[in-house]
A = this chain, B = another copy of it.
Amino acid sequence: MIYLFQRFVYQIPRGTRDFTIIEMQNRRYVEEKIRSTFESYGYKEVQTPTFENLELFTAKSGEGIIDEIYSFKDKGGRDLALRPELTAPVIRFYVEKLQMEPKPLKLYYFGNCYRYDRPQKGRYREFTQAGCEIIGTDTPESTAELISMAYNILKNLGLKKIRLKVGNLIILKEIFKKIKLTEEKQKYIIPLIDKNLYEELMNAMSEFRINQKDISEFIDILENSDIEKLRNYLKDNKNVLDEIEKFEKIKNLLENSYKISDLSVKMSIVRGLDYYTGTVFEIEAPCLGAESQLCGGGVYELIELFDGRPSGQAGFALGFDRTIIAMGEEKIVFPKKTIDLYIIPIDEKTILKAVEIAENLRKNGLNVDMDLLRRNIGKALKYASSINAKKVIIIGPDEIEKNVVSIKDMKTGKQETVKIDDLINFLK
C-alpha cells in the first residue's frame, strides 16, 4: 500500500510540465531572440516576485478572477497569489519604486504565470509570458514603436504567417455612443464582438431596438474598418477627431516607416475595455486555430488605479509557450547544440593527463566533456556521438609518452595526431 501511494506522490503535479534538455535549448534560444529584440529598441529588463498580494490582481481584473488564481496565506495571514499575469506586478513596482526614473521608462520582463483551471491540450497551469511597458509617453511614435517591436520579435523568431491587427478603444466607445449602447448593454455585446459571434451580436442589437441600418453600419465598421470610413462615420463627433488622427499617424508609421505591409485595422478588438484607453493591437498566428493569439496590448492606464501619478503608458504581453508552438507549426528549425570536444582516456593511468588537458582547453574557451565511466573506445565514441561532440580526443599511454593525442573529427571521420602543446592552436 505504501509503495502504491508513493508511486502516485512522486509525479509531476497535474497541469504542469518538466522541460527536457532539447526543450530547454529551444526555450533559451527563443528567450534570447526576444531579449535581443527588446534591447534593440532600448527596453531594459526588470523582475518582480512570483507571488503578490491577492488584492493587486482583483483591483485590476475584478473579484471574478479569484477562482482562476492559485492563492494561499502568508504567515501573517495575508492572502497571497501566484501571479496570473505580469502587468499588474510591474506597475505596482513602478509606483512603489520607479516613479522618479527618467522618462520614457522602457521595461521588459519574462516570468512564469499561473492559472488555476482545468488543464487542456496546450494549456498549462504554469506558463511563461514575456511582456513590456513604456511609461511616460503617449505620442503616436511611441505606440507605433511598441507595436512594431512586438511584430519584429515574432518576425525575428522566423515566423512568417502572422497577422497584425490594430484597433482603438476611444474610437470604439464613441461608436457605441453613436448607436446609444449604454454601458450595461456594452457589457452584454462586448463578449460577442470579442468572439466574432456576429449572428448573436445582430440578434442582441435587434433586441436592444437598434434599427437595422445602424446595425449593418456598425457591423461593417467592426469588420471592414479603415480610417476614412471611421472619420466619415463619426464626422459629427468633434471630440474623437484628434484620436482618429493619432490612430492614423500610428498606422502610417507602421506601414511607411516600419514597413509592415500586412497590417489591418480591426475595430472589433475589445481587449480590457476597463483600462485600455487608446490604440490596441493583437498579433495572431492563424496556424494555431481557435487559440491563435500570440501577443496583445496597447495604450492603457493602470498607474492611477495603483495610486501612482498619471503618466502615459502602453505595453503588451506575449505568450511564450504559444509562440514556440507556432514556430513548430511553421517548421522553424531550432539551432542544434554541440560540444566542441569529447576526451577518451584509454586506461586508468591516462585519466590524470586527460583531466589536465580537458581543463586546459576549457580555460581557453572550449566546451569539453570526457569519459567518466572508463568505457572502451567503441562505447565511449557512441556516447560522444549521442552528445553531438564535434571532435574526439583519444589519449593512451603511447600518446602520453610521445606528448601527443589523437584527434578524430566526428563529421568527416578524419583522424590526426597532434602535439599536446600545439592542441589549442590546432583547435582554434
Contacts and interface: CB of A to CB of B under 8 A. Distances in A.
Interface of A: 6-7, 9-14, 16-21, 24-25, 27-28, 39-42, 44-53, 55-56, 59, 70-72, 74-76, 78, 80, 82, 92-93, 95-98, 102-104, 106-107, 112, 114, 116, 118, 126, 134, 136-137, 139, 141-142, 144-145, 148, 152, 252-253, 256-259, 306-307, 337, 339, 342, 351-353, 355-356, 359, 362, 366-370, 372-374, 383, 386-387
Contacts of A72: 70-72
A253 B352 contact: yes
Count the copies: 2
A352 B75 contact: no
Given A50-B126, A359-B148, A12 B139 contact: no
Interface SS, A side:
mixed
A259 B24 CA distance: 33
A339 B417 CA distance: 46
Nearest to A94: B18
Given A14-B74, A28-B45, 11 more contacts: A10-B96, A19-B46, A42-B369, A50-B82, A75-B116, A102-B383, A102-B386, A102-B387, A103-B373, A252-B352, A256-B352
Contact of A40 (B142, B306, B368): B368
Contacts of A98: 20
Contacts of A337: 44
Contacts of A373: 103-104, 136-137, 139
A19 to B, nearest CB: 4
7 contacts: A9-B53, A10-B307, A18-B47, A18-B97, A19-B48, A104-B372, A256-B356
A41 B355 contact: no
Contact of A18 (B46, B71, B126): B46
B41 A80 contact: no
A355 B144 contact: yes
Contacts of A17: 49
B42 A367 contact: yes
- List the 6 closest A-B pairs by CB distance, nearest first: A42-B369, A72-B72, A16-B49, A257-B355, A142-B372, A9-B55
Nearest to A340: B40
Nearest to A126: B49
B7 A20 contact: no
Contact of A20 (B9, B97, B259): B97
Contacts of A6: 59, 307
B49 A366 contact: no
B257 A56 contact: no
Given A50-B50, A95-B10, A372 B18 contact: no
Nearest to A107: B21
B18 A44 contact: no
B352 A139 contact: no
B19 A44 contact: no
B12 A92 contact: yes
Nearest to A98: B20
Contacts of A80: 13
Nearest to A382: B102
B145 A7 contact: no
Contacts of A112: 50
Contact of A13 (B51, B107, B356): B51
